Chains A and B, each alone.
Chain A
C-alpha cells in the first residue's frame, strides 16, 4: 500500500510539472533560449527527475503492470489542474475521450 501511495502521489507531481511547462509556454520570453532556461521549465524537469526515481523505488514493492494503471491518474490530474490553474475548458467529448484512454491503458496493462 505504501509503494502504491508513492506511485499515486507521483502522478500528481507529474501532472503539476506539465502545468509548469504549459505556464512557461504561455509566456513571452526575452529570447528563444529562455523558453527553456526559466525556473518553471527547470523546476518541471527537476520534478520529473524526482518522480522517475520515486517510481523506480516504488517498483521495488509494486508490479510494473499496476504502475501503468496508477499512472493513468496523471490524465485525471492534468485535466483537473489545467481546468483550475490554467482555466482551460474541456467539453464532454474530451472528458469521455480521456475516460476511454484510461480504460484502454487498464485493459492493456491488466491483460
Chain B
C-alpha cells in the first residue's frame, strides 16, 4: 500500500468516525422529542454503534501501516468533519475563534504528516516474547 493510499484510508476512517457525533446528535434530538422509546432515537443509537464498528474495521487496517502517534494526530481532523456536518446538517454556527482553532489543528496535522517518513511501516511481529500469533 502506497503512502497516498495509506493516508486516504486513514482519512476515510476519520471521516467515518466523524459520523458518530452526527448520529449521537440526531439521537439526542430524537430523545428530546420522544424520549427513550422514540423509534428515531433507537434507530440513530443503532446507527451510532454500527458506525463505530465500521470505523473500528478501517482503523485496525490503518494502524497496521502507520505509526500510532502519526495516525492519532491525523485523527484530530475529525474535529473539522464534525464542524462541517454541524453546519450543513444541523445548521449550527461557527465562531471566528472556532475557525482559527480548526485551521491551527489542520496546520498541526500537516506538520506531523510532512515530518513522517513515508516509507515507515510497521513490521508484523511473529516471535514469541516480542509478539506471536494470536
Contacts and interface: CB of A to CB of B under 8 A. Distances in A.
Given A91-B115, A111-B97, A22 B63 contact: yes
A46 to B, nearest CB: 12
Contacts, number: 145
Given A88-B69, A93-B111, A21 B63 contact: yes
B69 A101 contact: no
A5 interface: no
B89 interface: no
Interface in A69-84: 74-75, 78-79, 82-83
Main secondary structure of the interface of B (DSSP, over half): helix
Given A25-B122, A111-B100, A105 B64 contact: no
A108 B112 contact: no
Given A28-B125, A45-B56, A88-B69, A97 B115 contact: yes
Interface residues of A, number: 48
Interface of B: 56-57, 59-60, 63-64, 67-70, 72-73, 76, 79, 95-98, 100-116, 122-126, 131-134
